[in-house]
Structure 1
Amino acid sequence: MGPRAPPRGWRPRGARRPSPPNSPQGEPTPAPRGRGARATELTLAFRAATDRAVEFQAVAAAQLADPRRFDRLTPAAIAERAEWTEDYAKKMIEFGRELLHGGEGRGSADPV
């Protein structure tokens, strides 16, 4: 029998834990309160980005379904291309028209 491997996580006395490859050496980690505030900022930023993305998709759907266009698409065609249900495509088209004509729409980026 060969020598046994040391237990997982074991280090010789005085050895330092290796730093992750992408962590800056010598920089202090943020205080827990600071991390919570940063997490809240990131959450709000991601929500805002999601809202903008939904609004962008709604405006695009409304433009594709515009009856003034000779090459307009039906809600069914938009739903197929976007991998949506037809009902959702109709709601997105309506929401996009509200955004185009009224600026802010219903106040929320959720068309449902």
Structure 2
Amino acid sequence: MEGPVEMNKNVCLICGYNELEEIPYYSYFAGSNEICPCCGFEFGVDDFDCDEFDHEGLTDQEIVEKSHIIWRKHWIENGLELFNPQIFSPEFRNGKFLKRDYLEIQMKKNLGLDFNDI
């Protein structure tokens, strides 16, 4: 994958949550099947099951990258709902939703993404 994310880190490639138990992908984009407790993305499932674009003719890397962009956009548009809010301290969440300012820091620090460019 291109960009600032290193494959050996346990960082969610959607939201930047940096405490996944496993790396998101193994060799050849085989997903870990871990579900991010922050955004709810399941690596190896939600990427290849994304039906919002035609997968034909695309490499696994292209499929993964496109699905990440789509999932991230939908998650943000739907209000940053936490998949497992109990693991976040109240200072980082607003009810069951991630605070936007916390997400901005998380995404910038762990993914190199500027929230305002998404």
Q: What TM-score, normalized by structure 2, do the two folds share?
A: 0.26
More relative contact order in 1 or in 2 (CA 8 Å, sep 6+)? 2
Structure ID, larger Rg: 1
Q: What TM-score, normalized by structure 1, do the two folds share?
A: 0.27
